[in-house]
């Protein structure tokens, strides 16, 4: 039996999916949406008991159901009776229970079968989970570190200017922002010397653009040692984000970004934006993987039964599936299950045998149907 975090469940990870894929059934999955006390929907404990009652009804005809029910009861007892909290997903099997925060869960659902129901949290588990957030503003540069659903504000590294004025107004290179000319004789010293007169090289708009360019270059250079090879998520005004992408030498900047002024956003608000950006990053990668399927020689497209069997045999290198699609499995296919879904079963088997899984939103993978697989052999 694995340990369960009672008061502060962690976010689900890819490693957790691997562990879940190796558990023997019957497997109970309870999806519990976020709950706030006083919202009129009843207590979370009442909802959990209703879900548990439904799970027990489905388990009656399955072997070893008593062990699975005992695990489920232990799991439910660890959830606070009257408290609220974020969305969760609970997993219970004979002598096994686990609970995770799961932001993508929005509706209560019970699943009982030979495997845990992991498709609803695939994207959340597979999306980038540790990266930096750069809030770009001419008046205020911010750096935050994102990990497991939370944001931590960091001090700026010494080489990163805190604002545009600090970056360029005091020490901008002369050849970039101004020229000099010889003026008339000075009268200050009476020595007959000459003085230098400075004047701008372009319009005010051109000067500002040059300042911003230098500002963003210095930010990128100053972040190098801190960020290293971690992904970077950008938040700010589109014009400045676009220019930063042009000057940046950082290897991995999210395609997705948060548009708007990040100056006053709280770390909690930034965490919400970052989580949404990480999910979009994952879905974009999944869409690219789906587009590449027709070019592959070894593949199965749209045939859930064949893909499931190939996954069981360890032949699936990469599985692609549509999150909202279902393909009911016949009981004879898998030695007996209670309404198990072939798409979910294929995902579990692919993870169990070391393959990759990509999920896209919707009910189809473009022209590929609901599921497709690239094979090892």
Q: Which domains does the chain have, with CATH numbers?
A: 1-125 (3.30.960.10), 130-289 (no CATH), 296-377 (3.30.1330.30)
Q: What's the pLDDT score for residue 206?
A: 63
Answer for the pair 316, 308: CB distance below 8 angstroms, yes or no. no
Q: What's the pLDDT score for residue 354?
A: 96
Q: What's the pLDDT score for residue 203?
A: 54
Q: Comparing C-alpha atoms, which of 315, 319, 374, 376 is closest to residue 345?
A: 319
Q: Comparing C-alpha atoms, which of 39, 76, 33 is closest to residue 55?
A: 76
Cα distance between residue 216 and residue 248, in whole Å: 8
Q: What's the pLDDT score for residue 179?
A: 39
Q: What's the pLDDT score for residue 177?
A: 39
Q: Are strands 150-154 and 142-147 parallel, antiparallel or unpaired?
A: antiparallel
The pTM (predicted TM-score) of the whole model is 0.81
Answer for the pair 271, 150: CB distance below 8 angstroms, yes or no. yes
Residue spans of beta strands (DSSP E) within 148-275: 150-154, 178-185, 194-200, 232-236, 253-259
CB neighbours of 69 closer than 8 A, spacing ≥ 6?
A: 55, 56, 59
DSSP 229-249: TS-EEEEE-HHHHHHHHHH--
Compute φ and ψ for 145, nearest 5 degrees.
-110, 130
In this predicted model, what pLDDT tens digit does every residue of 104-118 receive, in sequence order?
999 999 999 899 999
Answer for the pair 57, 131: CB distance below 8 angstroms, yes or no. no
Length of the chain: 377
* Six token digits for residue 136: 């770009």
Q: Which residues of the chain have pLDDT under 70?
A: 1-8, 36-42, 61-64, 79-84, 168-206, 330-339
In Å, the largest CA–CA distance within the chain is: 108
Cα distance between residue 360 and residue 289, in whole Å: 10
């Amino acid at each position: 039996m694995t340990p369960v975090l009672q008061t502060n469940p962690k976010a689900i990870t890819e490693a957790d999916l691997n562990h879940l894929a190796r558990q023997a059934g019957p497997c109970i999955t309870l999806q519990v949406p976020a709950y706030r006390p006083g919202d009129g929907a009843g207590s979370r404990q009442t909802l959990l008991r209703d879900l548990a009652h439904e799970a027990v009804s489905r388990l009656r005809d399955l072997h070893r159901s008593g062990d699975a029910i005992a695990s489920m009861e232990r799991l439910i007892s660890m959830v606070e009776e009257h408290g609220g909290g974020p969305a969760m997903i609970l997993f219970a099997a004979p002598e096994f229970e686990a609970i995770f925060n799961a932001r993508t869960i929005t509706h209560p659902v019970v699943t009982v079968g030979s495997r845990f129901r992991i498709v609803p949290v695939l994207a959340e588990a597979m999306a980038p989970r540790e990266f930096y957030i750069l809030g770009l503003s001419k008046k205020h540069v911010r750096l935050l570190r994102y990990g497991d659903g939370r944001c931590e504000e960091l001090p700026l590294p010494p080489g990163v200017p805190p604002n545009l004025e600090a970056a360029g107004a005091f020490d901008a290179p002369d050849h970039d922002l101004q020229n000099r000319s010889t003026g008339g004789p000075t009268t200050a010293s009476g020595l007959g010397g000459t003085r230098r007169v400075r004047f701008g090289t372009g319009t005010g708009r051109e000067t500002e653009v040059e300042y911003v360019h230098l500002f963003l270059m210095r930010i990128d250079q100053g972040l190098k040692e801190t960020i290293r090879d971690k992904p970077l998520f950008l938040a700010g005004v589109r014009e400045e984000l676009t220019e930063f992408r042009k000057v940046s030498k950082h290897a991995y900047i999210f395609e997705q970004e948060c548009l708007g002024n990040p100056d006053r956003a709280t770390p909690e608000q930034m965490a919400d934006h970052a989580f949404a950006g990480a999910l979009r990053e994952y879905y974009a990668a999944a869409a690219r993987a789906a587009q590449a399927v027709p070019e592959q020689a070894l593949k199965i497209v749209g045939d859930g039964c064949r893909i499931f069997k190939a996954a069981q045999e360890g032949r699936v290198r990469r599985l692609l599936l549509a999150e909202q699609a279902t393909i009911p499995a016949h009981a004879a296919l898998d030695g007996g299950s209670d309404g198990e879904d072939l798409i979910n079963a294929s995902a579990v088997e692919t993870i169990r045998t070391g393959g990759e899984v990509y999920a896209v939103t919707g009910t189809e993978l473009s022209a590929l149907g609901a599921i497709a697989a690239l094979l090892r052999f």
